């Protein structure tokens, strides 16, 4: 056998061994078997769900949504101050792999006919010692303008862009882990000319703080949950 063939063969074997070593083997879920329905309270800090519970989110068997998410929860909350309703969508997927990754709202909104007007990144303080990397997005379809605040968790990472999400998925793969993922989205239809970001941010803060300490890691990761506690 020629020396060149031996070298090529050895290189292929080394590449295969490296790829095999990097192949994720462990499923790790920070939700710990809990459901979003049970983790996110129906009422807290003056907020209460309209209709008293969750909206049913139908999923076609075998559809992308069915494959991506184990659970999707939609609720509408109102505060006792009489202000406009805030809509919440929470989704959890056990397996974030190359093929199955959380869909970011800026992509989903454009897919259903909205135009994304603005994206900004402004961490949400969680006193006493934590901050949440959130995305603030404004999208428009006709006369409807919706202001959206959201964050995504992929394993222990909270990526704010699609590029960060790909990098973080690769980092978990290097650890031999297939991580779970969560999307938390809160939004309001604009009532007036300006977005009411303070109200959306207050809702998100109140919601996270209302979650039982032992369940917060599922929404915001272990380090932030511990810092908040």
Compute and round to an integer the Cα radius of gyration of the chain: 20
**Structure confidence at residue 28 (pLDDT):** 82
Closest listed residue to residue 165, CA positions, set 106, 210, 77, 205: 106
Neighbours of 175 (CB within 10 A): 15
pLDDT of residue 60: 53
List, in sequence order, the alpha helices (H) in 26-70: 36-39, 64-68
Please say whether the beta carbons of 123 and 163 come within 8 A. no
What's the angle, vertex CA 121, arms to CA 225 and CA 160, rounded to 5? 60
pLDDT of residue 9: 46
- One digit per residue, the tens of pLDDT, for the chain of length 229 reads 555 444 444 444 433 334 444 454 678 889 999 999 999 999 999 999 987 656 545 555 544 444 556 788 999 999 999 999 999 999 998 865 444 457 789 998 999 999 999 999 999 999 998 999 999 999 999 999 999 999 999 999 999 998 998 898 888 888 888 888 999 999 999 988 899 999 999 999 999 999 999 999 999 999 999 999 8
What's the confidence (pLDDT) of residue 55?
A: 56
pTM for this predicted structure: 0.82
Q: Would you state the pLDDT for residue 158?
A: 95
Task: Quote the DSSP letter at residue 61.
Answer: T
For residues 180 and 87, give the distance between their C-alpha atoms in angstroms, rounded to a whole number: 24
The pLDDT of residue 68 = 57
Contact assessment for residue 210 and residue 44, using Cβ atoms and an 8 Å cutoff: yes
Output the CA–CA distances (angstroms, integers) from residue 2 to 7, 11, 14, 220, in the order listed.
Answer: 9, 14, 19, 56
At 51 the pLDDT is 77
């Amino acid at each position: 056998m020629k020396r060149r063939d031996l070298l090529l063969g050895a290189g292929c074997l080394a590449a295969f061994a490296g790829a095999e070593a990097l192949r994720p083997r462990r499923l790790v879920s920070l939700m710990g078997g809990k459901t979003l329905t049970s983790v996110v309270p129906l009422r807290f800090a003056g907020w209460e769900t309209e209709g008293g519970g969750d909206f049913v989110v139908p999923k076609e068997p075998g559809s992308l949504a069915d494959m991506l998410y184990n659970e999707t929860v939609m609720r509408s909350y109102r505060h006792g101050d009489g202000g406009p309703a805030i809509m919440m969508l929470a989704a959890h997927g056990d397996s974030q792999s190359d093929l199955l990754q959380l869909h970011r709202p800026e992509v989903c909104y454009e897919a259903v006919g909205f135009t994304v007007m603005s994206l900004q990144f402004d961490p949400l303080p969680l006193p006493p010692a934590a901050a949440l990397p959130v995305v603030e997005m404004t999208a428009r379809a006709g006369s409807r303008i919706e202001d959206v605040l959201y964050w995504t968790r992929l394993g222990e990472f909270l990526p704010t862009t699609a590029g960060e999400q790909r990098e973080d998925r690769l980092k978990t793969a290097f650890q031999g882990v297939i991580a779970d993922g969560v999307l938390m989205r809160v939004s309001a239809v604009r009532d007036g000319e300006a977005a009411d970001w303070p109200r959306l941010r207050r809702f998100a803060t109140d919601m996270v703080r209302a979650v039982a300490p032992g369940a917060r890691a599922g929404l915001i990761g272990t380090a932030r949950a511990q810092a908040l506690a």
